[in-house]
Amino acid sequence: MTKMRAVDAIALILEKEGATEAFGLPGAAINPLYSAMRAHGGIRHTLARHVEGASHMADGYSRATGKIGLCLGTSGPAGTDMITGLYAAIADSIPMLCITGQAPTDKLHKEDFQAVDIESIAKPVTKFAATILEPGLVPGYFAKAFQIMRSARPGPVLLDLPINVQLAEIEFDIDAYEPLTPDKPAATRGQIDKVLDLLVASKNPIIIAGGGVINANASGQLVELAELLNIPVSPTLMGWGSIPDDHALQSGMVGIQTHTRYGNVSFLASDFVLGLGNRWANRHTGGLETYRKGRTFVHIDIEATQIGRVFTPDLGIISDAGAALEMLLTIAKERKAAGTLPDYSAWADECTARKSTLHRKTNFDNIPIKPQRVYQEMNEAFGRDTTYVSTIGLSQIAGAQMLHVYGPRQWINAGQAGPLGWTGPAALGVVRAKPNSTVVALSGDYDFQFMIEELAVGAQFKLPYIHVVVNNSYLGLIRQSQRPFEMDYHVSLGFDNINSPETNGYGVDHVKVAEGLGCKAVRVEDPSKLAEGFAEATRLAAEHQVPVVVEVILERVTNIAMGAELDAVNEFEDLAQAAEDAPSALVPLDQATGQPVGASA
């Protein structure tokens, strides 16, 4: 055993646990931990401009890697600033470790400067939160924290460290420290036999693949199972990328906001639904009577209390999605060898052929630009390996309806919480995770203005990415949701900018702001110039190694398709003129006929 400060033990533990990417701000009450990180050198730190921004950076890093990002801050407001980040992480089952400094233990009940009960504040938005009051407890608490973050449904933890605890000397041997084994429930053979019995009794089965598939790193097994059974897969927003968009069995996203038209139609034609690692979120299901009618449901999820939370399935199984998929593959292969699996090729071909129809119009030439054209051009400009980052608003909803994603962890999205301002800092965390990848963030102007100061972090630390800002100078989603109230109340962001008349009443000059923060920026006002703008942004990011903002000036008002029921989505205007005589690039073509696979002669 070796005598060392508790913070030196923490630095060694973080390194051994593989949590070596930190984002935060030093301060008096957390400086001892910073001194240990500096001394040991195994943890890379990125200095944020706001602690909430640091929490979103750590979150983005965790989502992009499956590892545990670190968020560090001092006492008092640093911890309270982390709360939105913790909420975003726990809402989407993301492991992330927040560490705060704290006043000395003998000052905790004396209203000391920046002494706040962050443990109590953080408990509702974490899997575990604790103020460590005894130095000897430090190694055990950290071991427990990592086990909790990784066990069952993943999620964030906050550990609060009084400064005297950080500085106290303890006996510690890192060679004797071993990470604790996470608890992950696994489906049994008997349970999976029942799943397959229900599936093979159906005519039109479909898999709903949620974020649990991506958390389990089980996308390969999902695709293998779909191909073995020859049945369609619909990813949720959090599961997007678990099967490539252009795979013949990817049947389109289902939902009342983030969805494809062909995805909803295919789902409504199904009679059996296998939910894997999903939550049955209300913006996925819409009205439950429509969603459930005529269908048998099996729900497999790692979290026991998730089964039956929204509705009672016909069969519920508590299991890690990866473990369930492994057992499904084993038994399905046995049944296929025995010749007892039905032939679902006609149903699969029907869903595949549907992907060449039911598209919304995107090829608008209007000035100001219609948002649909932006996503069309983004699909053309950015390749299959692009990682998209987005969080909330009409920009995210329309993007999810029209963009294409081809792999797991290539759609990084704060799904359930949807905090404004998350996109930019999360994108910086993603760049730390994927330093040689194309990272493209997507924001409306209001999301972009939240935490805009974090662009300076990208400039300082050479973290290049492209941030597409679709600017209608409106709180667009809120404006659209005010329609039933027949009002347009405090949702306009426009004003005459006395310093930038070229903004033409749209208000904030995002180009000047981005440049003032050390980044590059491009403004596009003509749809025919979008491709050029994206190409220039790509060049500038590569050349200067900084974030590049592409501000696209949109028409002020565009209503994006959404509704309350899967069979009653309001298109608002006639955007349903699909390229029905020109098959979508997502649809595999029969090499002999040139027609979509499964299309009738």
For the chain, domain boundaries: 2-176, 189-354, 371-564
- Here the contacts of 434-438 (C-beta below 8 Å, separation 24 or greater) are 434/64, 434/387, 437/385, 437/386, 437/387, 438/382, 438/383, 438/385, 438/386, 438/387, 438/466, 438/538
Return the pLDDT at 293: 96
- In tens, the pLDDT along 159-193 reads 999 999 999 999 999 999 999 999 999 999 999 99
Whether the CB-CB separation of 423 and 389 falls below 8 Å is answered with: yes
Phi and psi at residue 309, in whole multiples of 5°? -65, -45
Return the pLDDT at 104: 94
Q: At what angle do helices 219-229 and 321-337 cross, to 10 degrees?
A: 30
C-alpha span between 98 and 123 (Å, rounded): 12
Q: What is the DSSP letter of 249?
A: T
Assess whether the region 2-176 and the region 189-354 belong to the same CATH fold: yes
Return the pLDDT at 598: 45
C-alpha span between 544 and 459 (Å, rounded): 9
Whether the CB-CB separation of 298 and 314 falls below 8 Å is answered with: yes
Can you name the CATH fold of 2-176?
Rossmann fold (3.40.50)
Whether the CB-CB separation of 90 and 50 falls below 8 Å is answered with: no
C-alpha span between 256 and 154 (Å, rounded): 27
C-alpha span between 601 and 594 (Å, rounded): 11
Can you name the CATH fold of 371-564?
Rossmann fold (3.40.50)
Phi and psi at residue 466, in whole multiples of 5°? -110, 125
- In tens, the pLDDT along 457-500 reads 999 999 999 999 999 988 878 888 888 888 888 888 888 999 99
Q: How confident is the model at residue 249 (pLDDT cuts 50, 70, 90)?
A: very high
Q: How confident is the model at residue 205 (pLDDT cuts 50, 70, 90)?
A: very high
Q: How confident is the model at residue 573 (pLDDT cuts 50, 70, 90)?
A: low
Candidates 3.40.50.1220, 3.40.50.300, 3.90.220.20, 3.40.640.10; correct CATH number of 189-354? Answer: 3.40.50.1220
Identify whether 235 is preceded by a cis peptide bond (ω within 30 of 0).
no
